[in-house]
Structure 1
Amino acid sequence: MTKIKAVIVDDEKNGRENLRGALCQYCPEVEVVGEAKDALQAIGLINKTNPNVVFLDIEMPMGNGFKVLEFFSEPTFSVIFVTAYDHYAIQAIRFSALDYILKPIDVLQLKAAVNRYVQQQSFVDLRLKQFLKNEVRSKEDKRIALPMADKINYIKINQIIRCQGEANYTRFCLLDGTEHLVSKSLVEYEEILSGFGFIRTHKSYVVNISHIQSFVKTDGGYLIMSDRSNVPVSRRKKEAVLKVLK
């Protein structure tokens, strides 16, 4: 079996040791070829060892994990972020469909992240490049990654009219009339799109506020969207919807 060359970047010695130990015990396909304690060391180590994957801590002195990535305009490695809970950082990571594990390290979460890397190697570099581009884009120009079976679609968020939940899937309906069905729940995308002008109107719908044309009070209340589609508004969500429309 070909080993996966990995680098661990974490400013805390215990953090590096714990992750190395977990990888050694539970992910034998991974070979740790080096460790770094700050951004400067990480850049030199990555250049020297040319790893397949970098386990990258986000919160570090002398430049966080995102700053490390800015030195690699054409990254040849994949990244699995390692972080204590940080809403902004996790939202940015999930926006580009990248992987992360939370501290303290959960073995099952770690093994799942490594398995996803093995299964999706053809996509990971593209996702990282798009992540880096998203970090410098304006809020209106950011693109969300929608993983499909054989590709990843990158969609400008201002082109999304509505997201419709269908069991464990979410259907994205776009301004150009196309639709994309993604195997993630509506709840996940509600969280990812929070702060980007989207609102939950119903248990099955999240809509882009900028694409709402009118609110119709009859028939229990519903929205008319820019594509002329009708979206129901539940009784529980009505007050919140009307508030954003004022």
Structure 2
Amino acid sequence: MINAIIVDDEYMVGETLKNHIQNHITGITILSVINDVKNAKSTILKLAPDLVFLDIQMPGLNGFELLRSFEEINFDVIFTTAYTTYAIEAFKVHAFDYLLKPITIDELKTTVNRYYLKRRTYSDKQHITSFLEKIEHLSSKTERITIPEIGALTIIQTSDIICLKSDYGYTDVYCKDGSKITSSKPLKHFCEILKNNTKFCEIGKSNIVNLNYVTKYYNEGTIILENTIKISVPRRSRKTFLATLQQ
């Protein structure tokens, strides 16, 4: 019997994965589902699982940073991610198992069976450090992003996003096709995910803009984006924004 922990900041995603495992996978017991990544390390050390299903894209402390915080990694890892093919090659080369979101039962079965065949513990710090350096470099080129909604996940190309706007604890994601997706996550969640993507610029505390869609900037601090979207740049941020825009 393999004891496992799920670490995912999205409550419904973690619970769905737990239910899939309990209902369709034999030989794995879920000890805990952790939604607050700040508690993940202490819980893992306390419960000493054999396996951790680890989300990568989490605000505050992502999955890679969590792994780096361990002096010794004496548990196996199956990553859960929305990364596309270019990054998946890094998983394969370094022999890590992964689940692509949204996670299906068939994909879960395939991944767990693959894990059973080559089960090992990645306590070699050099091996996992090499992997993290590779995958974090690739993550700066993130092509897709997972947008948590209430009761659903939408995965879209980052290149299709015009801007993201804060909306009282939620986030409105405006897309080039004219659609708007309202996420159940606050804007800071997306700031963390997109922080290494040079195409996106955070403006104040309320907006993230895809610089590729800026069509005009007025000196009084108004940005015009495609689809006639307007955003005001706070006075304190204008100089930095203009420097970024002209790079």
Whether the 8 Å contact between 1:140 and 1:157 is mirrored in structure 2 is no
Whether the 8 Å contact between 2:54 and 2:80 is mirrored in structure 1 is no
Deviation, structure 1 residue 147: 1.4
Q: 1:240 and 1:20 mapped to 2: Cα distance?
A: 41
1:94 aligns with 2:57: yes
The one-character-per-residue Cα deviations of 1:165-204 (angstroms, maximum 9, x if unpaired) are: 0121111000011111112221221121112111122331
Q: Which one-letter code corresponds to 1:5 in the other structure?
A: T
Work out which structure has the larger RCO, using CA pairs closer than 8 Å and 6 or more positions apart in sequence. Answer: 2
Q: 1:203 and 1:242 mapped to 2: Cα distance?
A: 17
Equivalent in the alignment of 2:196: 195
- Secondary structure at the counterpart of residue 85 of structure 2: helix
Deviating above 4 A after TM superposition, structure 1's stretches of 4 or more consecutive aligned residues are: 18-21, 136-141
Q: 1:180 and 1:155 mapped to 2: Cα distance?
A: 10
Deviation, structure 1 residue 226: 1.4
Q: 5+ unaligned residues in a row in structure 1: which ranges?
A: 8-17, 25-31, 36-53, 56-78, 82-92, 106-124
Q: 5+ unaligned residues in a row in structure 2: which ranges?
A: 1-21, 32-41, 71-77, 90-137
Q: Which one-letter code corresponds to 2:80 in the other structure?
A: L
Normalising by structure 2, what TM-score? 0.51
1:173 aligns with 2:137: no
Deviation, structure 1 residue 95: 7.1
1:184-223 aligned at under 5 Å gives the runs: 184-196=185-197, 197-217=199-219, 220-223=220-223
1:80 aligns with 2:54: yes
Normalising by structure 1, what TM-score? 0.51
Equivalent in the alignment of 2:152: 151
Deviation, structure 1 residue 160: 0.5
Q: Which one-letter code corresponds to 1:145 in the other structure?
A: T
1:1-246 aligned at under 5 Å gives the runs: 5=29, 22-23=46-47, 32=49, 35=50, 54-55=51-52, 79-80=53-54, 93-94=56-57, 100=63, 102=66, 128=80, 130-131=82-83, 133=85, 135-136=87-88, 142-196=143-197, 197-217=199-219, 220-246=220-246
The one-character-per-residue Cα deviations of 1:178-233 (angstroms, maximum 9, x if unpaired) are: 1111122212211211121111223311100111111011xx31100011111111
The one-character-per-residue Cα deviations of 1:132-187 (angstroms, maximum 9, x if unpaired) are: 63614987671100112222100100100010001211110000111111122212
- Secondary structure at the counterpart of residue 227 of structure 2: coil
Q: 2:84 and 2:45 mapped to 1: Cα distance?
A: 30
Rg comparison, structure with higher value? 1
